[in-house]
Structures are given as structure tokens and as C-alpha cells.
């Protein structure tokens, strides 16, 4: 009987959703709004006669929709695009999120809402909708315009910052507050997890997926990809992060596979079905009477979203060196909220820290701003021309001079090549240090879980700690050698640039040599302090540690070439994954 009731509820949801979305598509409006309206119609607050009976089952399916929606966003996310978006996206996205967080919080407190409601409102208002914006730009045939490319870059950075924001919100909701040290610790742990997961995942996941795609049919590939998705989400959940983070990250990893086009083709119908249920479930939470009661907050928040995002994104784009017209078009294209806001709202409800009215308010604001998005994009060009004509000649000249000056600051020729080489060496050092620290932390975690509880070592905890530490050091040797080599190269470059030949006379070469050696030694010293602090549970006694370090130095000297070759192969494999072009067709049906 329960199964029949569930099928009846699911049929009601899909039939009403299908009818409303057909109507919305005919009216040239986003189908997401149709799903939300369908949820309102079948929800418990509107027509009790057609309301579904088993809301819990529908919400469980909607969780699957949220996971698949973020997985699809991850597939569209590209590490290569993230590297190419530059300072404009970073400045605009960071400024927008900070201002909208503050603005949303102040609006919530102005209306007398609880601090946690106000904080989550600010978080909901800070993230724009990738899906809605890209759909609007595609329908208006503007995706190739420069401002559209800048918008896409800002959206990529926003998605990354949204994951960080959700982790911080989870910490605040769990502890009731988050001071500066806790915030830095949370961001540090999340950064460590992101770097390690992405490096290891980019080495393994695309190759595994491509192999399965090569030898399997579509149904087998679909099952394998969904298995990877839900398995990684389970792992992320076990580590204390949200499944939304896991879904987005595994999507980014799978998105680097050669068979991406085929994967998108077979996953998207499943995504569309479950994400439809996700948006319907959002609509089910809306009580139309609440919308009437909160009409004033909804109006104020909508105006704040439009004006706040237009101002912050336009200002961020202009400060980064873009002209006024392009900057204004960027700002007006970003002026709405969408799917990530719903995910943040769901997070607040699941953690039981937000009030019931907050979700419908966020959905109402999202619906209104979604309707406004295509009109704002269309009106941005005429408005830019109008403002350009209305701006006093002196002010306009100063703004153009600033844009020209920012353009002249970019390095070119040999200076750009040197700066690029320094950045690359610094990143290599940082990533290898993070990987080394991660190996020791993972080994400490396994030690706490009893992995080294051998019968022979009963009553010898120091031996177990020394064994865990030695194994971590052995696995880390390729990364330690790589960090030292890259730091040594960085030291040589900085010594050449920082100490001209006229300084030191005949001792110039020796001075440069000293500086070139200080940097790699400082890196090793810092790495040792990090390992000692973060993996202190497996740190052996001092005498044993000294012996193990000496053994490690001897092994490094004996196996230097092997370690260099191992790391070079891993680095080449990672570079191949990131640099290879995505093929439009993979040759499989």
C-alpha cells in the first residue's frame, strides 16, 4: 500500500510539473519557475485535495536531485577555465559575496530576525545562478560576448567560494559561533581537503571513467559514474562536509575526462528528472500566506539583490581594468540568485538553525530576480550608453584614463615569462607541501582508527607511532624531494633577480648562492613544523625521530633519481589531464 501511495504521489508531482513547465516554456520563461509553481500547487498549503501524502519520500528524491544538479554544475566547471579567469573574476566575486553577506545580514536584523536567519539570508543572496544566467545568455545569443565570458569566470569563482561558505556555515551552525581562529582552521582544513582530493582525483578519476567508457555500454557507464558520485559524496559526508561539496567536486573531476560529452548525454536525463523533483520540493515548502505576510521583506531583499549585485560586480569588473560599458553589462547579468541559494537554504533547514519563513522568502526573491534577468541583460547596453552620455566629460576622461592605466600594468615579453615561472614554482612548492602534510594527517587518522593495532605490538604504543610515521615519511618522499627541488629553483631565480651583479663585487656569486640555499631549507623547516603540529599523534620520541630522519636522508640520497622520476611521471599525468583539449565526440554511442 505504501509503494502504491508513493507512486501516486510521484505521478502527481511529475504530471503537474510537466503541465506547468510546458506553459512556462510557451511563455518563454525559465522552466525552473514552472517546477516551483508545480510544487506550490501540490504542496500542503494550497490545494489539500491534490496535495501529496508522502512528503518525506519526495524530499528524499529531491536530495538526489540536489546532488545530481551540483554534479552537473561540476561537469561544466573547468580547472583550465578557473586558471584563465584572472583577477577580474576573483575581485568581482569576492567583493560581491562579502557585500551581499553583510547586506543580507543587516536586512535580516532590521526586520528583527534571529542572527542565524540573517546570516543564512546573506549567504543565500551572495551566490548567483550559473544555470539561469547561462540559459538567459544562450537564449539572447550573447555567450560569445566579452562581458559574458567575464560573467562565466565570476560564476566559476562564486561556485568555489560557495563551497567554502557552506563549510563555514556548517561550522557556525554546529558550534553556535565561529571566531577568527576557528574560521582560519576551517578554511585551512577545507583547502587541504580540496587540494588533496583534486590532485588525487584528477590523476585517477578521468582515467578510470575513460577506461569504463571505452569498454562498456551506456547503461554500464551510467551506473559506474553514479556509483562514483554517490560513493564520493558518502566519503565527504564521513569527513564532516556536506554532500553538495562532494557532488560538485566529483563532477569537476569527471569533467576532465575525454568521454565528457558522452557522460553528459547519458547523465542529463536522470539529472533533469531528479532536479525537477528538487525544485518541486522547494515549491512545496512555500505557503502563499507567508508570502503575503512577508511581502515587504521580499520586496526589500529583491531590490537589495538587484542593486547590490549590479554595483558590486560592475565595480569589481571596472577596478580590474575593464571599461565602464563592459563592467555594467557584467553587473546587470549577475543580478539574481538561484540553485546554490536553495542548497544553502536546505542546509539551514537540515541543520535546524533557520526559521520556516526563510526558505519561501528566498524562493520568492529567486523567482522574481529570475524573471528580471533577461530584461536586465537586454537593458544593460542601452543603459550603458545612456550613462555614458550623461557622465560629465571630465569624469568620463578620468575613468577611461584609469582603464588605460590598468591595461598598461600587465607584464609583457620577458617580464611576463619570469613572473609566470615564479608563480608556477611557488604553486608547485605549495601543492607538494600540502600533499606531504595530507599524507601524515591521513596516516595519523588511520593510526587513531587502529590500523596499526598488531598483536606483536601490543603494549608498545611508541613502536606503533614510529611505524605510522615512517610509513607516512616513505610515501611522502617523492613530494618532499619535489618541494625541495622546486624551492631550490625558486631560490635561484629570486637570487638572480634580487641581487644585481653590481652588489657584492667578487662575492656576488657567493651571496646569490647563500640566498638560493636559504629558500629550500626554509621550505623544509616549515614543512617539518607543519607535520609535527598537524600529525603530532604519530610523532615518535625525539631520539627515534632523529634516527628515522637520518635513515630518510640516506634513502633520499640513494633513491634520488627514482624519486624524481616517480614525481615527474605523476606531474606529467596531472598536466596531461589538465591541458588536453576536450574532444567534441568520443566515438561511442
337 and 479, same domain (yes or no):
no
Distant-in-sequence contacts of 549-555, Cβ < 8 A, 24+ apart:
552/473, 552/474, 552/477, 555/474, 555/477
323 and 436, same domain (yes or no):
no
Q: Per the domain annotation, does 527 fall within a domain?
A: yes
Q: Is the dihedral of CA 215, 216, 221, 225 positive or negative?
A: negative
Is-contact 477 524, C-beta < 8 A?
Answer: no
Confidence (pTM): 0.69
Return the pLDDT at 428. Answer: 81
Mean pLDDT, residues 156-174: 76
- How does 348-366 read in b/e, with b if 16+ C-beta sit within 10 Å? bbebebbeebbbbbbbbbb
Q: Per the domain annotation, does 201 fall within a domain?
A: yes
Q: Which one is predicted more confidently, 150 or 191? A: 150
Mean pLDDT, residues 332-358: 81
CA-based end-to-end distance of the chain: 40
Return the pLDDT at 304. Answer: 92
Q: Per the domain annotation, does 49 fall within a domain?
A: yes
459 and 354, same domain (yes or no):
no
Return the pLDDT at 473. Answer: 83
201 and 342, same domain (yes or no):
yes
Return the pLDDT at 585. Answer: 42
Element (H, E) at 372: helix 358-390
Return the pLDDT at 303. Answer: 92
Q: Which one is predicted more confidently, 317 or 507? A: 317
147 and 33, same domain (yes or no):
yes
Q: What CA–CA distance (Å, rounded) separates 52 from 40?
A: 11
Is-contact 541 469, C-beta < 8 A?
Answer: no
189 and 314, same domain (yes or no):
yes
133 and 208, same domain (yes or no):
yes
Structural domain count, the chain: 2
Residues 6 or more apart in contact with residue 14 via CB below 8 angstroms: 276
Return the pLDDT at 589. Answer: 35
Q: Per the domain annotation, does 3 fall within a domain?
A: no
393 pLDDT higher than 80: no
Q: Per the domain annotation, does 544 fall within a domain?
A: yes
Helices (H) and strands (E) in the chain — how many of each?
23, 0
Which of 3-7, 34-38, 150-154, 307-311 tops mean pLDDT? 307-311
Is-contact 257 203, C-beta < 8 A?
Answer: no
Q: What CA–CA distance (Å, rounded) separates 2 from 223?
A: 27
Tell me 354's DSSP state: S
368 and 423, same domain (yes or no):
no
Is-contact 313 330, C-beta < 8 A?
Answer: yes
312 and 445, same domain (yes or no):
no
Element (H, E) at 183: helix 180-215
Q: What CA–CA distance (Å, rounded) separates 429 from 183?
A: 24
Render pLDDT for 395-408 as a digit per residue (tens, 0 to 9): 777 777 767 665 65
Q: Per the domain annotation, does 265 fall within a domain?
A: yes
Is-contact 326 147, C-beta < 8 A?
Answer: yes
Q: What CA–CA distance (Å, rounded) separates 208 from 214?
A: 10
Return the pLDDT at 407. Answer: 62
Domain containing 135 equals: 10-380
CA distances from 37 to 84, 282, 379, 583 (A): 39, 9, 27, 39
Tell me 536's DSSP state: G
Q: Per the domain annotation, does 4 fall within a domain?
A: no
At 588, the pLDDT band (50, 70, 90 cuts) reads: very low
Mean pLDDT, residues 136-146: 74
587 pLDDT higher than 50: no
Instruction: State what percent of residues in the chain have pLDDT above 90.
Output: 2
241 and 318, same domain (yes or no):
yes
Q: Per the domain annotation, does 168 fall within a domain?
A: yes
471 pLDDT higher than 80: yes
Is-contact 30 372, C-beta < 8 A?
Answer: no
Tell me 456's DSSP state: G
Instruction: State what percent of residues in the chain have pLDDT above 70.
Output: 82
44 pLDDT higher than 80: no
CA distances from 504 to 46, 347, 494, 498, 513 (A): 83, 61, 16, 12, 12
Is-contact 315 95, C-beta < 8 A?
Answer: yes
Render pLDDT for 86-117 as a digit per residue (tens, 0 to 9): 667 778 888 888 888 899 999 999 988 888 88
Compute how many other C-beta atoms are within 10 angstroms of the C-beta atom of residue 420: 11
CA distances from 351 to 40, 120, 166 (A): 23, 12, 12
Least trusted range by pLDDT, from 112-116, 300-304, 324-328, 400-404: 400-404
171 and 276, same domain (yes or no):
yes
* Nearest alpha-carbon partner for 225 in 60, 77, 72, 58: 72
62 pLDDT higher than 80: no
456 and 311, same domain (yes or no):
no
Q: What CA–CA distance (Å, rounded) separates 523 from 512?
A: 17
Question: What's the CATH code of the domain at 127?
Answer: 1.20.1530.20
584 pLDDT higher than 60: no
Amino acid at each position: 500500500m505504501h509503494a502504491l501511495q508513493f507512486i501516486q504521489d510521484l505521478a502527481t508531482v511529475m504530471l503537474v510539473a510537466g503541465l506547468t513547465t510546458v506553459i512556462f516554456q510557451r511563455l518563454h520563461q525559465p522552466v525552473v519557475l514552472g517546477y516551483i509553481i508545480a510544487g506550490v500547487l501540490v504542496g500542503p498549503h494550497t490545494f489539500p485535495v491534490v496535495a501529496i501524502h508522502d512528503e518525506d519520500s519526495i524530499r528524499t528524491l529531491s536530495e538526489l536531485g540536489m546532488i545530481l544538479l551540483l554534479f552537473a554544475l561540476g561537469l561544466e566547471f573547468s580547472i583550465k577555465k578557473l586558471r584563465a579567469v584572472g583577477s577580474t573574476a576573483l575581485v568581482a566575486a569576492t567583493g560581491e559575496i562579502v557585500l551581499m553577506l553583510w547586506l543580507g545580514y543587516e536586512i535580516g536584523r532590521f526586520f528583527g530576525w534571529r542572527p542565524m536567519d540573517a546570516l543564512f539570508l546573506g549567504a543565500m543572496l551572495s551566490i548567483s545562478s550559473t544555470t539561469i544566467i547561462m540559459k538567459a545568455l544562450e537564449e539572447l545569443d550573447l555567450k560569445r560576448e566579452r562581458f559574458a565570458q567575464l560573467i562565466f569566470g565570476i560564476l566559476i569563482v562564486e561556485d568555489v567560494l560557495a563551497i567554502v561558505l557552506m563549510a563555514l556555515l556548517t561550522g557556525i551552525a554546529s558550534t553556535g559561533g565561529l571566531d577568527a581562529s576557528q574560521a582560519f582552521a576551517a578554511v585551512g582544513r577545507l583547502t587541504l581537503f580540496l587540494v588533496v582530493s583534486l590532485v588525487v582525483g584528477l590523476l585517477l578519476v578521468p582515467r578510470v571513467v575513460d577506461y569504463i567508457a571505452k569498454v562498456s555500454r551506456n547503461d554500464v557507464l551510467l551506473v559506474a559514474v553514479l556509483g562514483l558520485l554517490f560513493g564520493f559524496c558518502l566519503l565527504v559526508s564521513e569527513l564532516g562536509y556536506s554532500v553538495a561539496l562532494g557532488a560538485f567536486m566529483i563532477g569537476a573531476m569527471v569533467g576532465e575526462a575525454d568521454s565528457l560529452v558522452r557522460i553528459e548525454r547519458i547523465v542529463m536525463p536522470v539529472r533533469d528528472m531528479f532536479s525537477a523533483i528538487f525544485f518541486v520540493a522547494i515549491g512545496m515548502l512555500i505557503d502563499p500566506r507567508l508570502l503575503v505576510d512577508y511581502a515587504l521583506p521580499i520586496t526589500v531583499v529583491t531590490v537589495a539583490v538587484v542593486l547590490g549585485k549590479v554595483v558590486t560586480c560592475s565595480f569589481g569588473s571596472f577596478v580590474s581594468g575593464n571599461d565602464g560599458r563592459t563592467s555594467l553589462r557584467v553587473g546587470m547579468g549577475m543580478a539574481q540568485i538561484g540553485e546554490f541559494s536553495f542548497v544553502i537554504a536546505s542546509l539551514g533547514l537540515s541543520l535546524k538553525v533557520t526559521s520556516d519563513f526563510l526558505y519561501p522568502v528566498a524562493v520568492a526573491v529567486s523567482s522574481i530576480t529570475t524573471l528580471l534577468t533577461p530584461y536586465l541583460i537586454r537593458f544593460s547596453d542601452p543603459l550603458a550608453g545612456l550613462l555614458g552620455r550623461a557622465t560629465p566629460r571630465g569624469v568620463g576622461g578620468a575613468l577611461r584614463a584609469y582603464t588605460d592605466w590598468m591595461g598598461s600594468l600587465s607584464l609583457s615579453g620577458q617580464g611576463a615569462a619570469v613572473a609566470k615561472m615564479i608563480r608556477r614554482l611557488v604553486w608547485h612548492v605549495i601543492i607538494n607541501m600540502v600533499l606531504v602534510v595530507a599524507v601524515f594527517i591521513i596516516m595519523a587518522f588511520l593510526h587513531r582508527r587502529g590500523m596499526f593495532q598488531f598483536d606483536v605490538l601490543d603494549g608498545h604504543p611508541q613502536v606503533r607511532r614510529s611505524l605510522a610515521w615512517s610509513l607516512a615519511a616513505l610515501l611522502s618522499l617523492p613530494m618532499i624531494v619535489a618541494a625541495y627541488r622546486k624551492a631550490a629553483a625558486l631560490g635561484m631565480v629570486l637570487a638572480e633577480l634580487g641581487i644585481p651583479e653590481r652588489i657584492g663585487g667578487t662575492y656576488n656569486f657567493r651571496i646569490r648562492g647563500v640566498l638560493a640555499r636559504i629558500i629550500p631549507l626554509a621550505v623544509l623547516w616549515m614543512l617539518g613544523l607543519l607535520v609535527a603540529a598537524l600529525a603530532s599523534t604519530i610523532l615518535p620520541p625525539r631520539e627515534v625521530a632523529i634516527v628515522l630522519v637520518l635513515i630518510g636522508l640516506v634513502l633520499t640520497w640513494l633513491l634520488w633519481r627514482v624519486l624524481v622520476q616517480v614525481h615527474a611521471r605523476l606531474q606529467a599525468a596531472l598536466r596531461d589531464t589538465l591541458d588536453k583539449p576536450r574532444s567534441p565526440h568520443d566515438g561511442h554511442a
